[in-house]
Structure 1
Amino acid sequence: MTDDARAKRTQTLASAAKAKSQAKTAAAEKAIRTLVKRGELITFQAVQREAAVSHAFLYNHPDLRGRIERLRAQARPVPPPTPPADEQSTLVLALTSQITRLKKQHREEVQALRDALEQAHGENLDLRRELDRRGRDTTRPQE
């Protein structure tokens, strides 16, 4: 094989590899656009599945890798800040304690009102009996 033929084969292989790489890059970019249109989460795995390319291909192309990482970060919702477990449990304990105290206070007030009502009924009964007794005493003839 001559050097000229070898150079031609090398050039042909290089151009074929370049064309294959460009086709895969175009497929990956199309896959990204498709996933965005569908509103799906952009991940390396999703792009790989959609474009039928390898993870290694995506990771080894800085432009594609950067774009996928950027889109993935944008789509990730920021979780709302949650109070530390200590604060949350302290708050729950404080509210539980307050509810318990208010329930006890309510029961005591209700019992005090029931006792007062019972006493008022007793006094009312005594007064009716006294009134009834006095009424009978005045209807008797005086001697």
Structure 2
Amino acid sequence: MTDARAQRIAVLTAAARAKSAAKAAAAEHAIRALVKRGEPVTFQAVQREGDVSHAFLYNHPELRGRIEHLRAQARPVPAQPVLPDAESTLVLALTSQITHLKKQHRHELQALRQALQQAHGENLDLRRELTRRGWTRHQSPS
């Protein structure tokens, strides 16, 4: 690597760090302003107030954690309706079953995505091998 290229990379890296630090400071200022005004602290509110992107907030672990914490604090806890015992038990059982099914669905979906990704990779390998052997679409393998 040439000295000029290394210097350009260093300058660009420093500029990116400075820009990121400035955006983090703007987001921090936005959070403080929202809290001071008593407004809800949400990702959208911080984005608007601090002129930063959603992606920046979600990809910045400290800011993301702080926003999620403040958002959760502001959310009122919904009152649980008083149900007769039989209905309450049924609701709890069904809620538990739905939670289990959602978790199972997520795992199955993840397994299918991984299998599809592997199949795409194998397909690409096979196409490369056919190309290496000189086969084209208009030929049939012998």
Q: Shared fold by TM > 0.5?
A: yes
Name the structure 2 match of 1:38.
Answer: 37
Superposed displacement of residue 82, structure 1: 1.5
Moved over 6 A (4+): none
SS of 2:41's partner is coil
Superposed displacement of residue 9, structure 1: 0.5
Q: Distance in 1 between matches of 2:64 and 2:48?
A: 15
Identity of aligned residues (%): 70
Q: Distance in 2 between matches of 1:5 and 1:66?
A: 40
Name the structure 2 match of 1:55.
Answer: 54
Q: Distance in 1 between matches of 2:48 and 2:83?
A: 39
Q: Distance in 2 between matches of 1:71 and 1:41?
A: 8
After TM superposition, the score normalised by the length of structure 2 is 0.57
Name the structure 2 match of 1:72.
Answer: 71
Name the structure 2 match of 1:12.
Answer: 11
Superposed displacement of residue 64, structure 1: 0.4
State the Cα RMSD in Å.
Answer: 2.0
Superposed displacement of residue 81, structure 1: 2.1
Distance verdict in 2 for CA 1:85–1:25, change over 3 Å: farther
SS of 2:78's partner is coil
Q: Write the letter of the residue equivalent to 1:4.
A: D
Number of matched pairs: 87
Superposed displacement of residue 86, structure 1: 9.3
Superposed displacement of residue 79, structure 1: 1.6
Q: Distance in 1 between matches of 2:24 and 2:74?
A: 22
Q: Write the letter of the residue equivalent to 2:65.
A: G
Q: Distance in 1 between matches of 2:39 and 2:64?
A: 17
Q: Write the letter of the residue equivalent to 2:32.
A: R
Q: Where does structure 1 lack aligned partners over 5 or more consecutive residues?
A: 88-143
Q: Pick the structure with more helix per residue.
A: 1
Superposed displacement of residue 85, structure 1: 8.3
Which runs of structure 2 are paired with 1:1-143 in the superposition (5 Å)?
3-84=2-83
Superposed displacement of residue 84, structure 1: 3.2
Q: Where does structure 2 lack aligned partners over 5 or more consecutive residues?
A: 87-142
Name the structure 2 match of 1:123.
Answer: none
SS of 2:32's partner is helix
Q: Write the letter of the residue equivalent to 1:10.
A: I
Q: Distance in 2 between matches of 1:85 and 1:33?
A: 45
Q: Distance in 1 between matches of 2:56 and 2:84?
A: 43
